[in-house]
Amino acid sequence: MKEYSNTKEGSGQRPEKQEIQWVRSRRKTIAIQVKEDGSVVVRMPWRASRRQAEAFLQEKREWVERQQRRMELRRSRQPLLTEEERKRGRALARKIIPQRTAWYAGKMGVTYNRIFLREQKTRWGSCSGQGNLNFNWKLILMPQELMDYVIVHELAHRREMNHSERFWKIVEEVLPDYRERRKRLREEG
């Protein structure tokens, strides 16, 4: 795994390794999160020993390194937008995303409550139990087929609030090529 420095390059100070963040909680299993900046958070139940968590982290080392490379690539691909470009993008998203969502909802025979546009760092969309849909406004910067995949994915949750086989069948009914779109979204997103 990469080691991170808390010291800016060229500051003349000796860099210190950034520690992995260890978080204990009521959870039942050990989980690893690679954050947008590539840092690692290990979440573990109170009953798990630090040695168990370290062994789990070592076992998942290749996965962690892949995720860190992915995050680094994502950061390097993100366009630097001016405030004016952001404003225009958000305005366009407020127009296009609700239109596409309404069209696909009609086609799928589902309803939804409200649409919220946000700027999440790691999510393209989500669906709440109350039927609210959240979309990252930056979907508007993606090719339309990828934006449509996210919209259909979230609308499918209106019928199945999980990622079961039934859920994927709903997505496939609307987008027979969803696997390819999903793969592209992971690569480009």
Q: Cα separations (Å) of 176 from 24, 94, 126, 179?
A: 42, 27, 21, 8
Q: Looking at residue 8, what is its pLDDT? A: 34
Q: Cα separations (Å) of 83 from 80, 88, 94, 112?
A: 10, 9, 16, 31
Residues 141, 119 contacting (CB under 8 angstroms)? no
What tokens were used for 27?
């959870």
- Strand partners for 127: 133
Taking each continuous run of H as one helix and of E as one strand, the counts in the chain are 6, 6
**Which whole number is the average pLDDT over 118-139?**
91
- pLDDT averaged over every residue in the chain: 86
Cβ-based neighbour number of residue 105 at 10 Å: 17
What are the pLDDT digits (tens) for 136-164?
A: 999 998 899 999 999 999 999 999 999 99
What are the pLDDT digits (tens) for 4-25?
A: 333 333 334 333 344 689 999 9
Closest among 75, 74, 20, 26 to 50, alpha carbons compared: 20
Question: What one-letter code names the amino acid at 87?
Answer: K
Residues 35, 1 contacting (CB under 8 angstroms)? no
Q: Cα separations (Å) of 54 from 4, 11, 49, 131, 183?
A: 18, 32, 9, 39, 31
Q: Looking at residue 36, what is its pLDDT? A: 77
Instruction: List the 115-118 sheet strands across, edge first.
Output: 115-118, 133-136, 125-127
